[in-house]
Structure 1
Amino acid sequence: MGSFTSNVIALDYSIGFKTGDQLIWKCNICNINKMNLLFGENWRDAGLFENLSQGKRMRWEVNTIEQNSTTILASVNIWMWKNEESWGTLDNITESSYLKNPSQYPANFNFSTYPYI
């Protein structure tokens, strides 16, 4: 099978969420052996995957979004992996900034990194 490359460039870039939006993830399957192979044996100790296991949920709520001509700055409340129906007190507030136009990143920039780890 041949390789595929694309030179498609969007005319306008957007962020896809707004202040007040909530994102909730539920872990339906957690294969520890496969996670160890993919992320290494310490994947559960910190960051996005801390305390992850089957049946738990994580919630993000967008606090603020600030934009200028080149960047987006988002502040997000995070409730880490829980089994309870009540979310309780949030675990973390994080801010991340992104360039509005991905072509402004260096050519070798790795988009596979997780900004919330």
Structure 2
Amino acid sequence: MVKLLKCKMLLISILSLLISNSLILTDVVGLEYGVGVNKNDELIWKCKVSNNLELDNLFGSDWDNGGIFNNISKGSMMKWKIYNIETNSSLIKIEVDIWFWIKDLNWGVKDNETQITYLTDPNNYSAGLSFINYKSLVPFWFPMPVGEYMGGLKLNPWYDVDNRVLPTLNVDIKKNGIFPGYPNENLKIIAIYNDQGILNSYKLYTKDNMVILDIAYDFLPFYVIPTIVILVSIFTIGIIIYIIKKNKSSKNQLMPRK
């Protein structure tokens, strides 16, 4: 009887383990990656720090003459507008119009257009993947869920994915690490992404942890705008009521007594 009970318990344990592993496997296999932005979305980034002298020393004097950093400077902004999105079983692609870095926000005619394409399954990339085709050395956008997508990539040792709090891509490249003379000294990058896969914060560091380039996604959360409108409305109504009451009080004081 005791042996039979032990056998039953063993069978139940094995069955539970098999079911648990099956569920985990199903969850991993069933994970689908997609696009966290929509057609006609406008994405704007603002440059908070741009130490041009240090950047010249790091990348050479023409580092801002093209690509994603074209004409960047402190206080300037860059805009993307999504004009097409395509997804299928093998590829995820967005096409964007780009307005490079300006300060007066008179965007005018777009400066460029580009497409960003990813494999639908990050595991299909070969080992040692890097983003040296980007001047920023990291993408400004990833498919979502971004943490899982980045975690599935077999990245070059320069890159380290940290999903403990927010999806973060840490980059550590030594002097001459990409090719001789590039970069001219050690650099570090911390790139943080939001849940839409959009680059939320980009900080480039050199020696002594000095930030020489700081870019932030410029947006107001969806709940902020209605809140601001409500507060302004309440404030305006309060002023109107105060003026009306003050006028009535003044009139009462001026009325002759009988």
**Given that residues 34 and 87 in structure 2 are in contact (C-alpha distance below 8 angstroms), is that contact kept between their aligned partners in structure 1?**
no
Q: Secondary structure at the match of 2:48?
A: coil
Q: Secondary structure at the match of 1:90?
A: coil
CA deviation digits over 1:61-108, x for unaligned, max 9? 100001110101211010011111321111111122211111111111
Q: Hey, what's the Cα distance between the residues in 1 that align with 2:33 and 2:58?
A: 31
The structure that has the greater radius of gyration is 2
| Residue 24 (structure 1) aligns with | 44
| Residue 103 (structure 1) aligns with | 123
CA distance 1:97–1:22, shift in 2 (3 Å): same
| Residue 72 (structure 1) aligns with | 92
Q: Hey, what's the Cα distance between the residues in 2 that align with 1:23 and 1:98?
A: 19
CA distance 1:28–1:37, shift in 2 (3 Å): same
| Structure 2: unaligned runs, 5 residues or longer | 1-27, 141-258
Q: Does 1:63 align with 2:83?
A: yes
CA shift at 1:38, angstroms? 4.2
| Residue 59 (structure 2) aligns with | 39
**Given that residues 39 and 85 in structure 2 are in contact (C-alpha distance below 8 angstroms), is that contact kept between their aligned partners in structure 1?**
yes
Q: Hey, what's the Cα distance between the residues in 1 that align with 2:54 and 2:115?
A: 30
Q: Tell me the number of residue pairs that the alignment of Structure 1 and Structure 2 aligns.
A: 108
| Structure 1: unaligned runs, 5 residues or longer | 1-8
CA distance 1:26–1:90, shift in 2 (3 Å): same
CA distance 1:82–1:110, shift in 2 (3 Å): same
Q: Secondary structure at the match of 1:60?
A: strand
CA distance 1:39–1:15, shift in 2 (3 Å): farther
| Greater helix proportion | 2
> What is the TM-score of this pair, normalised by structure 2?
0.38
CA shift at 1:36, angstroms? 3.1
Structure scoring higher RCO (CA < 8 A, sep ≥ 6) equals 1
**Given that residues 98 and 112 in structure 2 are in contact (C-alpha distance below 8 angstroms), is that contact kept between their aligned partners in structure 1?**
yes
Q: Hey, what's the Cα distance between the residues in 1 that align with 2:38 and 2:120?
A: 15
> What is the TM-score of this pair, normalised by structure 1?
0.79
| Residue 102 (structure 2) aligns with | 82
